A and B are shown apart, each in its own frame.
Chain A
Amino acid sequence: QITLKESGPTLVRPTQTLTLTCTFSGFSLRTSGLGVGWIRQPPGKALEWLALIYWDDDKYYSPSLKSRLTITKDTSKNHVVLTMTNTDPVDTATFYCARQARNTFDVWGQGTMVTVSS
């Protein structure tokens, strides 16, 4: 069974750095073709693609957020970490991680709600 779970702070102060961890099981990021991505969804709004890391350490970022995002993986721990710098209240959202396979996000985590507020 493939599962992913997001973890991190529920509240972040504006300008702080947000660090989220995706812990997964049931697959390995050493497997060719697989990736893990991050997607966010502000309350009542649409999904927004953020970043993606592949088994070979190729990384891709949303152009509008590229300067603020970093995605890394720890294959031995089955972790993928997303950091977002200089947060703002508009970054308040539910953040999802998902496995990328078959040219799609085929398994999603349950999501973690992050509020950016002073």
Chain B
Amino acid sequence: GQNIDQPTEMTATEGAIVQINCTYQTSGFNGLFWYQQHAGEAPTFLSYNVLDGLEEKGRFSSFLSRSKGYSYLLLKELQMKDSASYLCAVRDGIKAAGNKLTFGGGTRVLVKP
């Protein structure tokens, strides 16, 4: 099974940086995803990590340490539109699980002026 933990809520100021941590305990591991979800909308894909290290994509970066069961999503130069929930999800390493994802509870980020 999978257990995924992330903070419930974070507040940051426009233009600042926020780091959202995600820790996981899994029976297998085959990749970690971050999704963004605005209130009342469907989740949209942000990033994917399967190897250790940092993946950078514009203002967003995601880091993975498989040995520590740890990932973070880094949001730089925060904008008001970044106010949303950020979902950490792990793909099981068991072949039969295919592409099934287990999601954490999500971190609600509030960006203030």
Bound together: no
